[in-house]
A and B are shown apart, each in its own frame.
Chain A
């Protein structure tokens, strides 16, 4: 069984040896360490300035891209339902309203369009009359008109 107290003399011996336990460092080791530390420091400064420049460049790019996006004019077209004229706006500021009159759509004269228009306006009586009129005659509306039926 191991007895801890048995090793007092050994500990003493080890302690005495500590005086002669110093290992010699290489002569140029000190200078080498200092140079390495200086290099590491300058590398750190370089990386830090590189990162700062990167952040600055990113910020500038974002600033200009955002400014340009605000500058671009938006147009509300009168082709959209509910808009009678084209309105030019910049942000929330209205720059102007187009004076050009919107082109009226060509009148559709096929049976389906006529029926759809009548249905849309709720003229159900006229829808029935048109259906009957169509069934009694042959051809398109234009052909019936030209024939004089």
Chain B
């Protein structure tokens, strides 16, 4: 995943949205290529499920393809895209609510029997993030992986910056407690 500066990334998104507006749906591919991976990473944090996250990305892209002007004129196009993705992900979760209880039971069971066999740092952190409540893990993803400010995250989540900041603090506190034992093990070895 190519790491662009936030300003460059926003400009590229705006460029893709303008292209989409001028030339129609056939130009959606460029926006998809630019954003899908990062959107997926965020969507998985919300849905906790790969297939639902992919559905959310698809719904987001279709929505943007229908009204590209909103994205092209948005003050923060990346924040807007993330917000649309979040709304779509929540809509999908809402639809699947009756089945969700089984998924949650399965997740809890998986969490208990979870043994981190891989030394892969990203895997370890992803699993630790999964253990956080969704509203905390999404703040961590947006803050650290998407390099957003608390104000920007607040606009994505439709919360106050103070709420976002406190969620981030709690999330880090929990992550620290989850990851510290592993770090100790690493150093002892």
- Show the binding face of A for B, using Cβ within 8 Å: 2, 4, 6-7, 10-11, 13-23, 25-26, 29-30, 32-34, 36-38, 40-41, 44
Q: How many Å from the CB of A36 to the closest CB on chain B? A: 5
Best-surrounded residue of A19, A23, A41 (most CB of chain B within 10 A):
A23
Residue pair A7, B176 in contact (C-beta under 8 Å) = yes
Q: How many Å from the CB of B125 to the closest CB on chain A? A: 4
Contact of B121 among A13, A29, A41 (CB under 8 A): A13
**Number of residues of chain B lying within 8 A (CB) of chain A:** 37
| B93 interface residue (CB < 8 Å to A) | no
Interface of chain A: mostly helix, strand, loop or mixed: helix
Residue pair B145, A18 in contact (C-beta under 8 Å) = yes
| B7 interface residue (CB < 8 Å to A) | no
Interface contacts (Cβ under 8 Å), in number, total: 96
Please provide the chain B residues from 35 to 62 with a CB less than 8 Å away from any CB of chain A in the complex: 36-37, 40-41, 44, 50, 53-54, 57-58, 61-62
- Show the binding face of B for A, using Cβ within 8 Å: 1, 24-25, 28-29, 32-33, 36-37, 40-41, 44, 50, 53-54, 57-58, 61-62, 65-66, 120-126, 140, 144-145, 169, 172-173, 175-176, 179
Contact of A44 among B33, B57, B66 (CB under 8 A): B66
Residue pair B58, A33 in contact (C-beta under 8 Å) = yes
Complex-state Cα separation, A14 to B137, whole angstroms? 12
Complex-state Cα separation, A40 to B68, whole angstroms? 14
